[in-house]
């Protein structure tokens, strides 16, 4: 009887211990852990090749959802490491998804070809996806679990292929391996923005990112000097 009680205690305790350890590992690597349960906002858009993509197509996978732009130096710097991570873990349940901020498909395709990036390149021409996710600056990356829940997010450059990051991804994949597959989210109409991703916050955040892009363009124009 005692053995059965101990076994039952361990079954109940282990998920809580595992979750605490996971949160600790995420925070150690600079992630902001999502408090409470939150479903990832859904979306539909096109990829750089013009194909229609629904976020539900990533169901049942651990998703690294990265917001970026070609004019963003730290974005450019971290993406080759993301590619290496993707190649190592794509067969084990990882999906890396890059959401480009308000640039042309031609520019995104050229950049992906130049950098030899093979993971999905999606377009956010009107910043609607960035608004839904409350993007504050670029790069910003959201981790989404197999059941479509937001796990954590991080702002700024990350070395996505260093040993502790690879270990974290491997642990997340193993921890969620037995979880039932579920949609990342439904269509935008079915999945309205939740707390933390409200429209007012999203619009203000997108404004900050856009202001940074404008400043970048102005500085580049000054550096080039007057034409002729």
Instruction: Kindly state the tokens that stand for 108.
Output: 């995104």
> Where does 86-125 show beta strands of DSSP type E?
94-101, 121-124
H or E, element range at 18: helix 2-28
CB 181 within 8 A of CB 59: yes
CB 107 within 8 A of CB 176: no
Contacts of 141 (CB under 8 A, 6+ apart): 64, 65, 66, 67, 153, 154, 158
Catalytic residue check, 14: no
Residue with tokens 């084990």: 92
Which residues share a beta bridge with 123?
A: 100
Instruction: Kindly state the tokens that stand for 106.
Output: 């031609």
Query: Which of these is catalytic: 69, 75, 150, 172?
Result: 75
H or E, element range at 21: helix 2-28
CB 123 within 8 A of CB 129: no
CB 105 within 8 A of CB 168: no
Using CA atoms in the order 194, 21, 156, 68, what is the torsion angle rounded to 10 degrees? Answer: -60
Residues with a known catalytic role: 75
């Amino acid at each position: 009887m005692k053995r059965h009680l101990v076994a039952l205690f361990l079954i109940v305790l282990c998920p809580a211990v595992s979750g605490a350890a996971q949160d600790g590992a995420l925070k150690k690597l600079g992630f902001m852990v999502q408090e409470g349960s939150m479903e990832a906002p859904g979306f539909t858009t096109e990829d750089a090749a013009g194909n229609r993509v629904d976020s539900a197509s990533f169901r049942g996978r651990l998703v690294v959802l990265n917001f970026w732009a070609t004019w963003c130096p730290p974005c450019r710097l971290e993406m080759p490491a993301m590619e290496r991570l993707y190649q190592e873990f794509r067969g084990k349940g990882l999906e890396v998804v890059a959401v480009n901020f308000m640039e042309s498909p031609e520019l995104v395709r050229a950049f992906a070809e130049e950098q030899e990036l093979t993971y999905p390149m999606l377009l956010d021409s009107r910043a609607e996806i960035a608004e839904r996710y409350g993007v504050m600056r670029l790069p910003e990356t959201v981790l989404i679990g197999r059941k479509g829940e937001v796990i954590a997010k991080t702002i700024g450059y990350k070395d996505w292929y260093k040993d502790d990051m690879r270990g974290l991804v491997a642990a997340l994949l193993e921890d969620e391996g037995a979880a039932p597959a579920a949609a990342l989210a439904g269509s935008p109409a079915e999945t309205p923005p939740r707390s933390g991703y409200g429209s007012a916050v999203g619009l203000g955040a997108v404004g900050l990112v856009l202001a940074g892009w404008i400043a970048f363009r102005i500085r580049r124009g000054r550096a080039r000097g007057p034409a002729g």
